[in-house]
């Protein structure tokens, strides 16, 4: 090891060190190539836009556990609530595009929210990179146990006769529960009172306790309640009955075919996240969805697990685009009545 350098050599060495430092500082592309190749080198935050215990949170924790094993780094769930999930999505949009902040979005935050919030502070397509679809989640029409209607037909009659006095629970403008029950209200032609919660977990507690009258919620949080007999489920908004809720009729069987309501959950990162990082996250998600333990947990909650061709970032990008168009067409007229 040379112990001393001549004056000229020392100046040359210092110049080379400075040039290398500036290169990494000025052209992150050089440094980020190394960062991409070693991703992830630290824990990842998965933002959940709703309260703990709700369908979004439950699904997020199931897949995060498996993804963290594959990626070799902890995935920390952070529940960021408010404004129908849009507060969290704005936070995710503003996070560094380095793959260390992921958001669990859904049909509400990355679909219906565009029509429900004319001044939405993000664009689901422009401000995010899709990672992949996580689950398809049927939505059910629910009521408090003692409401005097035992079928969807009877409930719709009640909505028509007592619409304004009924209290509908939801998780904020932009949420699945708000968008899908807005669709139901529009079909029936009623304008109920509404109570917003920070997620459908607290909303479900209010429904079970009889503090609100009805709600439209995703199967993941309904299955345990139906098993416990704490709420009424009038119909599921999908073409066929749900495998874990075989006694709940479809909206078609119940006489209200216009109520077609199914949510989906999907992972997104901020725009500009490098492609190799997106590929790592997509691959870890795919492994989770193929894992037997994860699959049985999701299926037990009434989820439908996407087949591999539906799991690509491109297919999620196409889904977001079509869902924004679908719910904009469905909601704008309904929203104008509310
Ligand atoms: C939740 O996780 O609480 C729900 O997804 C909220 C909603 O979108 O209705």
pTM for the structure as a whole: 0.88
DSSP letters, 259-284, are ---EEEEEEEEETT--HHHHHHHHHH
Assess whether the C-beta atom of 200 lies below 6 angstroms from ligand 1: yes
If you measure from the C-alpha of residue 134 to the centroid of ligand 1, how many angstroms do you get, rounded to a whole number? Answer: 15
If you measure from the C-alpha of residue 271 to the centroid of ligand 1, how many angstroms do you get, rounded to a whole number? Answer: 24
Which residue stretches of the chain have pLDDT < 50? 1-4, 20-31
Assess whether the C-beta atom of 135 lies below 6 angstroms from ligand 1: no
φ and ψ at 122, to 5 degrees? -155, 160
Closest CA to 211 of 145, 296, 162, 274: 145
| CATH 3.40.190.150 residue spans of the chain | 44-136+264-337
pLDDT of the residue at 34? 76
CATH code, residues 139-236? 3.40.190.10
39: helix, coil or strand? coil
If you measure from the C-alpha of residue 54 to the centroid of ligand 1, how many angstroms do you get, rounded to a whole number? Answer: 6
Assess whether the C-beta atom of 172 lies below 6 angstroms from ligand 1: no
Q: CA 177 to CA 201: how far, in whole Å? A: 11
The angle at the Cα of 219, spanning 66 to 86, to the nearest 5 degrees, equals 75
Report the chain's C-alpha Rg in angstroms: 24
Question: Does residue 81 contact residue 87 with C-beta atoms inside 8 Å?
Answer: yes
Q: CA 188 to CA 157: how far, in whole Å? A: 9
pLDDT of the residue at 163? 76
CA distances 15 to 8, 30, 220, Å, are 11, 19, 61
Q: CA 125 to CA 107: how far, in whole Å? A: 13
Q: C-alpha 85: how far from its chain's center?
A: 9
| CATH 3.40.190.10 residue spans of the chain | 139-236
Closest CA to 324 of 55, 126, 93, 80: 126
pLDDT of the residue at 27? 41
Extended beta strands in 107-153, E state: 128-144
Assess whether the C-beta atom of 50 lies below 6 angstroms from ligand 1: yes
What would the two tokens of residue 65 be? 């556990």
Extended beta strands in the chain, E state: 44-48, 75-79, 101-106, 128-144, 167-170, 193-196, 214-218, 231-236, 262-270
pLDDT of the residue at 164? 87
pLDDT of the residue at 337? 54
CATH code, residues 44-136+264-337? 3.40.190.150
Q: What stretch of H or E contains 114?
A: helix 113-116
Assess whether the C-beta atom of 190 lies below 6 angstroms from ligand 1: no
If you measure from the C-alpha of residue 331 to the centroid of ligand 1, how many angstroms do you get, rounded to a whole number? Answer: 18
């Amino acid at each position: 090891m040379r112990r001393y350098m001549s004056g000229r050599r020392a100046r040359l060495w210092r110049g080379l060190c400075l040039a290398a430092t500036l290169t990494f500082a000025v052209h992150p592309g050089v440094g980020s190539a190394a960062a991409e190749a070693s991703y992830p080198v630290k824990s990842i935050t998965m933002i959940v836009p709703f309260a703990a215990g709700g369908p979004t949170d439950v699904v997020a924790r199931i897949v995060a556990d498996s993804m963290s094993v594959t990626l070799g780094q902890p995935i920390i769930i952070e529940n960021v609530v408010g404004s129908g999930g849009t507060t969290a999505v704005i936070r995710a949009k503003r996070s560094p595009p380095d793959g260390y902040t992921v958001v669990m979005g859904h049909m509400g935050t990355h679909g219906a929210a565009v029509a429900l919030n004319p001044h939405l502070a993000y664009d689901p397509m422009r401000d995010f990179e899709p990672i992949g679809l996580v689950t398809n989640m049927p939505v059910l029409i629910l009521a408090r146990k003692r409401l005097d209607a035992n079928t969807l037909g009877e409930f719709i009659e009640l909505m028509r006769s007592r619409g304004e006095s009924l209290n509908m629970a939801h998780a904020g403008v932009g949420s699945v529960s708000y968008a899908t029950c807005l669709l139901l209200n529009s079909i029936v032609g009623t304008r109920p009172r509404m109570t917003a919660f920070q997620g459908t977990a607290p909303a479900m507690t209010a429904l079970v306790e009889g503090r609100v009258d009805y709600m439209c919620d995703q199967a993941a949080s309904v299955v345990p309640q139906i098993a416990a007999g704490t709420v009424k489920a009038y119909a599921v908004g999908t073409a066929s009955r749900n495998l874990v809720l075989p006694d709940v009729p479809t909206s078609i069987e119940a006489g209200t075919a216009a109520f077609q309501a199914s949510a989906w959950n999907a992972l997104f990162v901020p725009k500009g996240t490098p492609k190799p990082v997106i590929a790592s996250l997509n691959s870890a998600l795919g492994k989770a969805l193929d894992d037997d333990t994860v699959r049985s947990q999701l299926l037990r909650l009434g989820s439908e697990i996407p087949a591999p061709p539906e799991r690509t970032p491109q297919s999620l990008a196409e889904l977001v685009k079509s869902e924004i168009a679908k719910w904009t067409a469905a909601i704008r007229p309904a929203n104008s009545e509310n």
